[in-house]
Amino acid sequence: MQEKSVCDEEVYKVIFDKHSKVVRNFIYYKCGDMDQAEDIVQDAFIKLWKNCQKVTFKKARSFVLKVAQNAFYNETAHKKVVLKYNASQSFASKVDGQSPEYLLEEKEFMHKLQKSIAELPEKQREVFLLSRKDKKTYREIAEIIGLSQKAVERRMHLALLELRKKIGDII
């Protein structure tokens, strides 16, 4: 069967829709700057178009990821990855009838969690967030990062231990 050509604009758009978000988040989890991440994604996809005759449909995602990652490593300025916290959605909305003390604790907890995630080593953070926020399986993450699934699982494990340690016994 003829492989779909990346040079075909419809195919190109499909690739973009399918993969651009995870590429963006992946870079964001590394550098913590969304504008920078989107710029990198933009350049990576332009590069994909320029090389559309050389890159097969199947390889398109790993090509974009590689280009984006290289671009990221070439840019030195990194910020902290601080995810936003929307207080209106809270544990309280999940569990009814919580006391005001609990809500206060929750706020403190969330603050610590944000800080702890920001302080995670980059390698653990990208695995943790790709898993929890992008709902990627360990196998998919392994493909994105270019590691074995086993190594990804180990990083996930370490990330959770690290977060647990940083947050401490708040509950």
What is the largest distance, in Å, between two alpha-carbon atoms of the chain? Answer: 63
Report the alpha-carbon distance of residue 140 to residue 137 in Å, rounded. 5
> Is residue 77 part of the contact set for other proteins (CB under 8 A)?
no
With contacts defined by CB under 8 A, name the span among 11-19, 54-62, 72-80, 96-104 that binds other proteins. Answer: 11-19
CB of 87 closer than 8 Å to CB of 103: no
Report the alpha-carbon distance of residue 155 to residue 136 in Å, rounded. 14
Residue span 108-147 as binding mask against other proteins, x where in contact by CB under 8 A, dash where not: -xx--xx--x----------xx-xxxx--xx---------
> Is residue 150 part of the contact set for other proteins (CB under 8 A)?
yes
Report the alpha-carbon distance of residue 41 to residue 10 in Å, rounded. 19
> Is residue 60 part of the contact set for other proteins (CB under 8 A)?
no
CB of 93 to other proteins, least distance (A): 9
CB of 61 to other proteins, least distance (A): 15
Where does residue 41 rank: exposed (0-12), middle (13-18), buried (19+ CB within 10 A)?
buried
> Is residue 171 part of the contact set for other proteins (CB under 8 A)?
yes
Give Cβ neighbours of residue 19 (< 8 Å, ≥ 6 apart).
60, 61, 64
Q: Which residues bind other proteins (CB under 8 A)?
A: 13, 16-17, 20-21, 24-25, 28, 34, 38, 41-43, 45-46, 49-50, 83-86, 89-91, 94, 109-110, 113-114, 117, 128-129, 131-134, 137-138, 150, 152-158, 160-161, 163-164, 167, 169-171
